[in-house]
């Protein structure tokens, strides 16, 4: 038989419970603590912010410096919903917030914003120190299991299962990628059992699988393909310049991540996705054709491609991988392929390898304060909501912005409830 314990020292009944100690959960905690509201943060892991720290390993990309109109287009079909939220805590506000933690930021050559030392750990340390000073209490190794009959939160802890009350509950449990760091998507079924509408979690900012030949894989896996442009074949988007990496199972890297939402959607609707590559984005088609038609004498085609067009072994290998032998004999066909090479992708990589996830709790189940319409007092923030964005600081910005909206919603809801309670007492 399960025993439920309510630990008074654990938690104040009139405090707000935040489930999830990632960036969104911590931002909710700070926003509420600054309003004088008691806050308890619960997380299944031994320490908070694990994915945040891991994301900062290659350089902590906080936000992006581009103009707000371009910035908001990165959220695609969720642009209209997220724009007012991000408008209240945009890239400039985020940078000012980081500065307030004693950390300077700078804009990189790509327009991305980083801390000067590029690291996540000093920022997280300073933030946690400030949160503790603000009175936020942390409860680690508390895995959320759902609710009991009274609507109290159930947690598995090292000391057994506990049930804890809260004046409001905020869920910031992340998506479904990088499960070992805590965001395992286990909350999906718990919310569905409560009647909440959750879209299936899917990989976002992810790599894709295709069957390379053994020769190509052995020779090129792990190598970056530089200075190319790409788009999803048949899509309306213009070619986008960048780079990506050949893997033993397919392709991954920044240019692929930027197109991953459209590629994933094409895979789902058509059973395959076609990545169209321009191998020489700085050379017009007419020039490519003219160089191919230039007599090559006794030189091999690959050495001709290298000397006349600057195509390296990897790009030439890619052409051999995707074209028929006969295509190389016709300059017109080969020039077209160099400028628009179709690479057929067969599947996304598993969600656990993805940088982020799409899907999640649908906004239609929530009001404008990110509170569940069916369940007053339950609020949601961050990546567990149904939106996605490319890498570049857009993910973190929206996590912070939705967190601040949810926190303001909690504060207003508590104030309203307390007014109603006072009025009831007066009347009685």
What are 289-321's pLDDT values in tens digits? 998 998 888 888 888 888 888 899 999 999 999
Looking at the structure, tell me whether residues 42 and 152 fall in a common domain: yes
Q: What percent of the chain has pLDDT over 90?
A: 83
pLDDT given for residue 2 in this prediction: 42
Looking at the structure, tell me whether residues 142 and 288 fall in a common domain: no
**Tens of pLDDT along 364-377?**
999 999 999 999 99
pLDDT given for residue 428 in this prediction: 59
Q: Report DSSP state, residue 152.
A: P
Assigned domain for 54 exists: yes
Please state which of the ranges 9-13, 33-37, 178-182, 385-389 shows the lowest mean pLDDT: 9-13
Looking at the structure, tell me whether residues 282 and 248 fall in a common domain: yes
Looking at the structure, tell me whether residues 88 and 199 fall in a common domain: yes
Looking at the structure, tell me whether residues 144 and 199 fall in a common domain: yes
| Whether residue 8 has pLDDT greater than 70 | no
Assigned domain for 61 exists: yes
Looking at the structure, tell me whether residues 223 and 327 fall in a common domain: yes
pLDDT given for residue 12 in this prediction: 54
Assigned domain for 1 exists: no
| Whether residue 347 has pLDDT greater than 70 | yes
Is there a contact between 236 and 266 (Cβ–Cβ < 8 Å)?
no
- 46-54 mean pLDDT: 93
**Tens of pLDDT along 238-261?**
899 999 999 999 999 999 999 999
**First and final CA of the chain: distance in angstroms?**
41
CATH at residue 164? 3.50.50.60
**Tens of pLDDT along 324-338?**
999 998 999 999 999
- The Cα–Cα gap between 174 and 180 comes to 12
- The Cα–Cα gap between 381 and 367 comes to 12
**Tens of pLDDT along 94-141?**
999 999 999 999 999 989 999 999 999 999 999 999 999 999 999 999
Looking at the structure, tell me whether residues 320 and 387 fall in a common domain: no
Assigned domain for 13 exists: yes
| Whether residue 190 has pLDDT greater than 60 | yes
- The Cα–Cα gap between 34 and 266 comes to 45
Looking at the structure, tell me whether residues 192 and 246 fall in a common domain: no
Instruction: Please give the helix or strand (H or E) that residue 139 lies within, else none.
Output: strand 137-139
Assigned domain for 80 exists: yes
Assigned domain for 3 exists: no
Looking at the structure, tell me whether residues 194 and 265 fall in a common domain: no
Confidence category of residue 3, pLDDT binned at 50, 70, 90 = very low
Looking at the structure, tell me whether residues 197 and 285 fall in a common domain: no
Assigned domain for 176 exists: yes
List Cβ neighbours of 255 (8 Å cut-off, separation of 6 or more).
228, 230, 240, 241, 242, 243, 244
Is there a contact between 55 and 33 (Cβ–Cβ < 8 Å)?
no
**Tens of pLDDT along 103-115?**
999 999 989 999 9
Residue 80's domain comprises 8-203+355-427
Looking at the structure, tell me whether residues 186 and 265 fall in a common domain: no
Total domain count for the chain? 2
**Residue 147, SS3?**
strand
Assigned domain for 36 exists: yes
What integer best gives the mean pLDDT of the chain? 92
How far lies 199's CA from each of 92, 150, 196, 257, in Å? Answer: 32, 27, 10, 21
Unique residue bearing structure tokens 């509170």: 371
311, 327, 348 - which closes a domain: 348
Q: Report DSSP state, residue 419.
A: H
333, 348, 363 - which closes a domain: 348
Burial class of residue 17 in the structure, from the number of CB atoms within 10 Å of its CB (0-12 exposed, 13-18 middle, 19+ buried) = buried
Looking at the structure, tell me whether residues 286 and 417 fall in a common domain: no
348, 365, 399 - which closes a domain: 348
**CB-hemisphere CA count at 13 Å for 7?**
15
């Amino acid at each position: 038989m399960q025993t439920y314990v309510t630990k008074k020292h654990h938690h104040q009944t009139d405090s707000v419970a935040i489930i999830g100690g990632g960036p969104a959960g911590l931002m909710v905690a700070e926003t509420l603590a600054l309003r004088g509201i008691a806050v308890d943060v619960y997380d299944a892991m031994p320490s908070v912010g694990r994915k945040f720290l891991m994301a900062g390993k290659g350089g902590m990309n906080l936000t992006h410096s581009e103009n707000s109109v371009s910035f908001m287009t990165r959220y695609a079909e969720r642009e209209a919903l997220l724009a007012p939220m991000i408008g209240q805590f945009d890239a400039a506000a985020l940078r000012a917030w980081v500065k307030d933690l004693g950390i300077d930021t700078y804009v990189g050559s790509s327009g991305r914003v980083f801390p000067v030392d590029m690291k996540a750990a000093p920022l997280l340390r300073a933030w946690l120190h400030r949160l503790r000073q603000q009175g936020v209490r942390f409860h680690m190794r508390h895995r959320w299991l759902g609710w009991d009959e009274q609507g109290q939160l159930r947690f598995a802890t090292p000391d057994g299962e506990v049930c804890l009350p809260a004046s409001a509950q905020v869920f910031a449990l992340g998506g479904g990628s990088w499960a070992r760091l805590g965001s395992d998507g286990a909350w999906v079924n718990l919310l569905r059992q409560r009647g909440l509408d959750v879209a299936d979690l899917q990989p976002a900012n992810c790599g894709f699988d295709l069957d390379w030949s053994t020769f190509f894989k052995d020779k090129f896996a792990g190598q970056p393909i530089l200075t190319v442009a790409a788009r999803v074949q048949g899509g309306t988007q213009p070619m986008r310049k960048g780079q990506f990496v050949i893997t033993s199972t397919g392709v991954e890297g920044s240019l692929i991540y930027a197109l991953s939402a459209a590629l994933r959607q094409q895979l789902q609707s058509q059973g395959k996705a076609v990545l169209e590559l321009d191998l020489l984005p700085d050379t017009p088609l007419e020039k490519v054709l003219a160089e191919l038609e230039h007599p090559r004498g006794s030189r091999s085609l690959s050495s001709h491609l290298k000397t006349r067009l600057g195509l390296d072994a990897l790009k030439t290998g890619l052409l051999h991988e995707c074209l028929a032998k006969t295509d190389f004999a016709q300059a017109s066909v080969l020039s077209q392929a160099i400028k628009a090479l179709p690479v057929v992708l067969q599947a996304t990589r598993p969600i656990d390898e993805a940088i982020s996830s799409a899907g999640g709790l649908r906004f239609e189940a929530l009001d404008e304060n990110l509170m569940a319409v069916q369940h007053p007092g339950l609020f949601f923030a961050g990546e567990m909501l149904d939106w996605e964005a490319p890498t570049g600081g857009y993910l973190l910005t929206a996590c912070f912005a939705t967190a601040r909206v949810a926190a303001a919603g909690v504060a207003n809801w508590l104030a309203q409830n307390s007014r109603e309670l006072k009025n009831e007492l007066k009347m009685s």
